[in-house]
Structures are given as C-alpha cells and as structure tokens.
Amino acid sequence: MPSDLRPGPDSPPTDELRSAEQSLAVLQQVLHTIADDDMSRQTPCSEYDISQLTEHLLNSITTLGGMVGADYSAREPTDAVEGQIIGAARPTLDAWHRHGLEGNVSLGESEIPAQVAASVLSVEFLVHAWDYAAALGREVKAPDPLVEYVFGLAQRLIQPDQRARGGFAEPVEVPADANPMDQLVAFTGRNPAWRVD
C-alpha cells in the first residue's frame, strides 16, 4: 500500500492544528448566517447574548494567538460577526502553524505545552459554533470524526477540579447513544436540548 495516502474528508484530524482549521470552517458556516438584528439573541450560555459571546470568543482567540506572536489588524466593531471572528482566527492559526506544536508557550507567568494550548482552539471554535447555531435556532453541520476528535480534546482539557475556574458547568447527562455533537456540548455543561424561545 502506498505510504503517501492522505486522510479523506470523513477521517478524523491528524493533529490539533488540522482540527482547529476544520472546526473554524464549521464555525464560519454558522457565523455567515448571523445578521445585525441577531446580536441580542440569547445563547445557551446564560451570561451571553450573541454580541457578548462574540466578545468572549474574540478574547479567547487573541489570547491564544498572543501566545505564539500573532499580529492583528485593527478591529472594526461594526463589522459582521463573521468578519470579526475570522479576522482574529486567521492570524491566530497562521501564527500557530508557524510555531508548531512542539515545546511550551507562555500563559501569564507560567508555561504550558504548545499542543495543549493549540487544542483549546478546536474546543472554542466547535462548541461556540453550537452556541451560535442554537441561538439562531439552527443545527451545526460538522462531520462526526471531527466532533469525536474535539470531544477527546475537551475531555483532556476540562478536568473535574478545573471546571468552575474554566467557566464550565458540570456535564449534562445524555443517552449513551447520543450523537457526537450532543456528547461534546453536554460534556462542556450545555444542555443539547436547549432551544431558543
């Protein structure tokens, strides 16, 4: 069998950066549908409407990008949500690709493995894609292998003793045969059955 076979579209990502790229593509599909009059819609995160969730996500993205020296253009708060998020995510991912997954990166006054920090991107992108979609009354279209991969990352990242500090509620129980996206969002403390009023 040839050694240069590449993974197909239904294969899981091969590392944290490919996962982040694929998760961002899923997020962008959702962001593309957000209109100006959607900004005050409540999200499944009780403390965030779409506007506040966008600020939270932008802060997370730029913090993660800052770990690897990402450069950002001046942000236009009047830009569409898609433009704002992609305008931060693209330089962040480009900087991560330049840095790679080896070694450590600074987090405040401490250091963490680069691979761990990079894995946060996938969880942020995919889980918040679900948050945005739920707020809009839509479904997230993400391949199961990607969601399963990100679920594995989330399980390694979100330790029981760090849930509250990381802003995560306790996991929500779902049936054993729940689809991968429901399992992922339930693990992060969200109710997969949440619907916009």
Give the residue numbers spanning the domain of 132. Answer: 16-187
Contacts of 65 (CB under 8 A, 6+ apart): 72, 88, 91, 92, 95, 96
Identify the three-state secondary structure at position 106: strand
Q: Decide: 125 and 20 in contact? Cβ < 8 Å.
A: yes
| DSSP tag of 49 | B
164 occurs within a structural domain? yes
2 occurs within a structural domain? no
- Give mean pLDDT in consecutive 10-residue pieces for the chain, a chain of 197 residues: 54 93 98 96 94 97 97 88 97 98 93 96 98 97 97 93 81 94 96 88
94 occurs within a structural domain? yes
Q: Decide: 114 and 100 in contact? Cβ < 8 Å.
A: yes
pLDDT value of residue 175: 94
Helices marked H in the chain: 16-31, 50-66, 81-99, 114-135, 144-157, 180-187
* pTM exceeds cut of 0.95: no
pLDDT value of residue 138: 96
Residue 162 belongs to a domain with what CATH number?
A: 1.20.120.450
pLDDT value of residue 122: 98
128 occurs within a structural domain? yes
pLDDT value of residue 4: 52
| DSSP tag of 117 | H
Q: Decide: 197 and 191 in contact? Cβ < 8 Å.
A: no
79 occurs within a structural domain? yes
194 occurs within a structural domain? no
pLDDT value of residue 8: 57
4 occurs within a structural domain? no
pLDDT value of residue 160: 85
Overall number of domains in the chain: 1
